Amino acid sequence: MAQPLSQSMAQCAGLHVWMSERVSAPERQQKLAQMATIWRGEALRQAQAEGQGKPAEFVAGHLFAMLETWRGKSDFAVLNEEFRDWVNYCGSLGRSRGISFE
């Protein structure tokens, strides 16, 4: 069984938080943090639509689990296939859901 869409969205939020922590350019940090916030909001709306019992806790739990997973990886994690797969997945999911990051 596939995981709930809200979980995937929360994971995309967590990934964007992690990316915002890894870049040094302030404008890029700000953009990635903004994207994480948008993902979190979309995940919360989706969790509510799915009928998750405690949507805010559900989203926060998956966001922070993803963030901690990536914090546990090396500085070179951005070079691996798993990272590229997640970035591509989040981009595709955002486009398919009509999520605007502007």
The C-alpha atoms of residue 9 and residue 79 are separated, in whole angstroms, by: 22
Query: pLDDT tens digits for 11-38?
Result: 999 999 999 999 999 999 999 999 999 9
- So what's the pLDDT on residue 100? 85
* Average pLDDT estimate for 40-45: 98
- So what's the pLDDT on residue 58? 98
Query: pLDDT tens digits for 43-96?
Result: 999 999 999 999 999 999 999 999 999 999 988 898 999 999 999 999 999 999
Which of 73, 78, 84, 93 lies closest to 13 in space, CA to CA?
93
pLDDT at 102 over 80: no
The C-alpha atoms of residue 68 and residue 14 are separated, in whole angstroms, by: 8
The C-alpha atoms of residue 54 and residue 23 are separated, in whole angstroms, by: 32
- So what's the pLDDT on residue 31? 96
What burial letters (b/e) apply to 75-100, b meaning 16+ CB within 10 Å? eeeeeeeebeebeeebeebbeeeebe
Count Cα atoms within 13 angstroms, Cβ side, for 85. 4
**What global pTM score does this model have?**
0.94
Supply the Cα-derived Rg of the chain in whole angstroms: 13
